[in-house]
Structure 1
Amino acid sequence: MFYLANRLVQGLIVILAALTLAFLMMFVIGDPAMMYVGPDASTAVLEAYRVSLGFDRPLIVQYFDFMGSAVQGDFGVSYRHRVDVVPIIGERLLRSAELALPAMLLAALVSIPVGVISAVHRNSWIDYVARFVALIGQAAPNFWVGIMAILFFSSYLGILPSSGRADPGSPILEQARYILMPMIILSLMPMAYLTRMMRSTVLEVINEDYVRTARAKGLSETKVIYVHALRNALIPYVTLYALQFGWILAGSMVIETVFAWPGFGRLLMDSIRMLDIPVVAAGLTTVAALYIGLNLLADMLYTLLDPRVVNR
């Protein structure tokens, strides 16, 4: 319990640091009041907005006011959309999750068995093929793979839509057609990283004493690998999986832009380009919270996979 509480405190410190960075960013980029009313506004209108938004107060007062509102989930109004920021972030996160959840599920379903098989058959043709494909998956830019997929499956074959998101009321199969291509492209890089991680960790544990003891007891090789070796091999895998999940949910800007998917990553990229500071600040804090939450979940899984972790 102390182990998890310590990790939670560390996570809260990181989130507070992210909030502080978001606050400072509002003043580094430019005058927030001018971004809100536009460059053509008169001096009187600009000053009125500066007073109404509280930007005329001392910086330290603004900082604590911002932190107090942010802790309550209030990041103000979007300069671009003219509505509260939090509902926009929540809606776009749900749309990103439509891609991220099946993408990470696919990555796990492929990387675990392929990584184990590659390690068990080390230096065989199966291992060489798996390592080569994983290397290509890591090296190939996902935006290029996405564009090639659009050219082949949409322009040439005409079997999948090239961009956008299906209407929420449309049939499930129609929605799946829009999700399928960006979801698969999004899963390729984490799938490659996770496959290589699984292979290397399985190679480390299959020569441990407890694995040799399991073989000496006469257990089948399948049971030795998937019951005794895999459990310990999953510990570093879970760490990387949590990090990849955070990246795929919060950092999928490129794929969402290529496929015109209205998700969180695309919102964050558009907001940075349009200098929509409240959305950028809320997005930065959301990314930090996602990483902290996913890493905390990984730590909780550690205690299930290896109870000795809590005593270290």
Structure 2
Amino acid sequence: MPARSVLGHPVLAFLGRRLLYSAVVLLGVMVVTFSLVHLVPGDPIRIALGTRYTEQSYLALQAASGLDRPLPVQFASYIGKAFTGDLGVSFRTGQPVAVSLAERLPATVSLAVVGLLVALVISLPLGIWAALREGRLTDGIIRIGSQLGVSVPDFWMGMLFITLFAATLGLLPSSGYAPLAENPGRWARHVVLPGLTVGLVAGAIMTRYIRSAVLEVASMSYVRTARSKGLTPSVVTRRHILRNALVPVLTIAGIQRATILGGVIVVEVVFAWPGLGRLVFDAVASRDYPVIQGAVLLIAAMFLLVNLVVDVLYAVIDPRIRLS
């Protein structure tokens, strides 16, 4: 349906279908996550107790966490509680998982926003410039540069930035975090290096997609028609090429946004950034089942939300696209 009908019943039907689809996907994510974490070797209760281990404390924590019950009963309990917002309690810290996730989410979201902005600032001009100069020297340089950006591991790039800007030049901190709301200046200093690390890798990927999208639109018949009418190259580019290339660009931007939200584990570990990625890393190391399951569920929900927003924006950008 066209974007102008956003308040109509078809949109409500679309949202209803997407919510049902999302619930099914989340259920599948919970099944897979529950199965995988119980297949990982290691006793989470023993690891959580550490030096405090005694047989009595072990049995007490096992009973309190429900791990003494059969797996089908554990899974049914997990599903029922998860859909009411109860994600359990961390074995390692004793804190409710929902609280831990809420505390870590702002750090990851702020890093993802900065990373996506850096990626867009890099990829939009470079991708468009390369496409409009296909086959020329600048196009080749941009393509080679983007390929290098895709090939370089993000952890290596992060350590390179730490060595150069923190250890050698002393311009920026190598690790740590300050909440944006409490100290914006300190937050900005700490987010620069991890934000650049995330943004450069994502920007290299997006540059290649944007170049391809612009080239595809530039080869369309209506673009050739606009040129045959005598329109200047700048007008053809602005009105016909870039505008119609927004939909595939929005697609890759949405995918990268969701990917950044769920895939910054290595970057957060390198820069000691207290986000969801660092939380998942620590939870996996300590076999903290509730935290692993809760974090994966939250990341999957964020993926679904980003995809929903992108689908709605399609209709806003191009009224010919219908929500279905």
In the superposition, the TM-score normalised over structure 1's length comes to 0.90
Deviations 1:104-124 (A, max 9, x none): 012112212221111111112
Q: 2:292 — aligned with what?
A: 280
- With 301-310 and 148-157 compared, the bigger mean Cα shift is at 301-310
Query: What does residue 263 of structure 1 align with?
Result: 275
Aligned pair 1:63/2:75, yes or no?
yes
SS in 2 for 1:310: coil
Corresponding residue number in structure 2 for 1:15? 26
Q: Any conservation in 2 of the 1:26–1:32 contact (CA below 8 Å)?
A: no
- 1:32 is displaced (CA, Å) by 5.5
Q: Which residue of 2 aligns with 1:24?
A: 35
Give the corresponding residue for 1:114.
126
TM superposition shift of 1:142: 1.3
Deviation at 1:28, TM superposition (A): 2.6
Tell me how far 1:126 sits from its aligned partner. 1.7
Task: Name 1:303's counterpart in structure 2.
Answer: 315
Comparing 9-18 and 169-178, the one that deviates more:
169-178
Give 2:223's match in structure 1, choosing from 211, 215, 222: 211
CA contact (8 A) 2:44 2:288 kept: no
Give the drift of 1:98.
1.9
CA distance in 2 between counterparts of 1:274 and 1:55 reads 16
Q: Which AA in structure 2 matches 1:131?
A: R
Pairwise CA distance, 1:31:
5.4
Look up the equivalent residue of 2:186 and give its one-letter code.
E
Per mean C-alpha deviation after superposition, the further-off stretch among 288-297 and 39-48 is 39-48
Give me the whole-angstrom Cα distance separating, in 2, the residues matched to 1:88 and 1:162: 24
Structure 1 residue identity aligned to 2:313 = L
In terms of mean alpha carbon deviation, does 57-66 or 291-300 score higher?
A: 57-66
State the distance in 2 between where 1:49 and 1:184 align.
43
**Superimposed CA distance per residue, residues 102-152 of structure 1 (whole angstroms, 9 cap, x where no aligned partner):** 210121122122211111111122212211211111011111111111111
In 2: Cα distance, 1:85 partner to 1:118 partner: 46
Distance 1:115 1:169, change over 3 A: closer
CA distances 1:274-302 after superposition (whole Å, capped 9, x unpaired)? 11111100011111111111111111122
- Write out per-residue CA displacement over residues 145-204 of structure 1, whole angstroms, 9 at most, x where no aligned residue: 111111111121111111112476875333322111111111011101111101011111
Cα gap change, 1:118 to 1:93, in 2 (>3 Å): same
Cα shift at 1:88: 1.0
Rounded Cα–Cα distance in structure 1 between residues aligned with 2:158 and 2:71: 45
Which stretch shifts more, 132-141 or 39-48? 39-48
Per the alignment, residue 266 of structure 2 pairs with 254
State the alpha-carbon separation in 2 of the partners of residues 166 and 45 from structure 1: 37
Q: 1:49 Cα deviation (Å)?
A: 3.8
Which whole-Å CA distance do the structure 2 matches of 1:210 and 1:311 have between them? 24
Bigger CA drift: 215-224 or 194-203?
Answer: 215-224
Matches within 5 A, 1:1-312: 1=11, 5-29=16-40, 34=46, 37=49, 41-166=53-178, 172-310=184-322
Structure 1: any 5+ residue segments left out of the alignment? none
Deviations 1:242-271 (A, max 9, x none): 221112112101111111111111111111
Measured at CA, do residues 76 and 144 of structure 1 come closer, stay the same or move farther in structure 2, by a change above 3 Å?
same
Normalising by structure 2, what TM-score?
0.87
Deviations 1:60-103 (A, max 9, x none): 33322211110111111111111111111122110112211021
Q: Secondary structure at the match of 2:322?
A: helix
Task: State the percentage of identical aligned residues.
Answer: 37
**Aligned AA (1:82):** G
| Partner AA of 2:130 in structure 1 | S
Contact 1:154 1:161 in 2 (8 A): yes
Structure 2 vs 1, CA of residues 69 and 153 (structure 1 numbering), >3 Å: closer, same or farther?
Answer: same
Q: Does the residue aligned with 2:260 lie in a helix, a strand or coil?
A: helix
Instruction: Name the aligned partner's letter for residue 14 of structure 1.
Output: V
